[in-house]
Structure 1
Amino acid sequence: MTHPTLTRPGHTSDRTAALEAIVLGLAAGHPDTTRQAVAQLGPVLRGVYDQGDTAWQAGAAADFLAATLYASPRFYLRLHAHAVGARDSDLHTHKGTVSSTVLCGDLVNITAAPAFTPASQAGALDVWQCGCLADGSHTQQRTGVRAVIDPQEVSHDRLTAGQGFTVAPGDYHRLTISPDPAAPTVTLCLFEWADPDAPDAFVLTGRPTPVVADRDMTTAAARAAVRQLLDTSY
């Protein structure tokens, strides 16, 4: 899906240079470079806040709004403002590598390594191939493959401000966002461009179809979360 982008390569602005440095710091994947990158976000966050409602778009089938900060042939960088108490309904993959850093609030990243089988098995989940089209609509197609998850192999990692996680292609995860309305959750997400012909995502579900999340997040709540982040951390 195409989002409004605050800055694209080729502009000779200070913000462009700052965003490129932030992207390189996040892409390095080292805690020190990530901290340095996050520390430089103040002017970028103020730009998002000042842009108002037009900075925010709904993209993936989850309850958050995204502001796209930067796009290049290799990376794009987005700010995600999550609805309080939001919960991904299903384990899913991403098209390319996604590295997320919690800027404020907290979340639980739930991961699992399913075993796949073509046969029907008690407790097995259907594997769906899902996509997001340019107009924001979603496609869903059952693959005919089934997945079994060992509950002993499911991990729940609670992450707070300054902590993060990476989802590589083929990794299954889902998020649960803090229900505390006084501490909204905002994340910084770096996406590495993938093969354009690769599926957008695979989703595991026991329901008749994967669930597209209700859209409870509003632009007013997203702006309020960024304002609080600016007031408390920058």
Structure 2
Amino acid sequence: MQFQSNNPQSGATLIEILIASSVFIVVLILSLGAATEFSDYGKQADADAGIQLDCHRAFSRVESILRQGWTTPVISSDGTSVEVEVLGYEYDSVNETWQRIDPATWKRQYDTSTASYYFVDGDGFELPVANCLVEWQRNSTDPNSSDYYFGKLICTLSDGGVNSTMWTLSENLGTFETHENGDRKNAFEFILSGKSIEVRLHMQRDENEVPYSIRSRIQQRNFLDGQ
């Protein structure tokens, strides 16, 4: 006995449904895979953007400070700190804060006895000078600790006496990058280059992230010849 189908298209329709279902499942899997990949890429892009923002913010703060330098910079042996003298800053012991004399009132004078320049304020008084230390300070002093390669950027302003104030400019600065000899790079490196300060900033908070670097020379705005 043979069975005949009343609908000769039913078999073909079933196959089409199965094929369509298979294609749908494949497309769904590919779509989910692509969505996951784009999600991971988005997270990575966000992380990179965050690192770049932190780098530029830290560099901008360092630049604004070092441009006010008055004397030849003093850089530490490991290149992680730089000290300069800055003009126009004095400590207000009454309000316990630092005040800066308006640069618009500054006037440059020449001392014939010493053959050097100096600045005075609007009333003719010589501008006060403060010591400014910009330093990348490690989170740990133990070279075997992972915190040793990360640290914060600090700025300390002092008048050479008892008055000294420290600010944190940026935190969690570090990198997993290494030099050719295998040594880890410091997050901040200061190098004296003529009358300029070369600043190198390296950032990478995770080994899987793409490292980001900034390298630039900062010219001290108030540096004068013949000092």
Whether these two folds match at TM > 0.5 is no
Larger Rg: 2
TM-score normalised over the length of structure 1:
0.23
Q: Which has the higher helix share?
A: 2
With a CA cutoff of 8 Å and minimum separation of 6, indicate the structure with the bigger relative contact order.
1
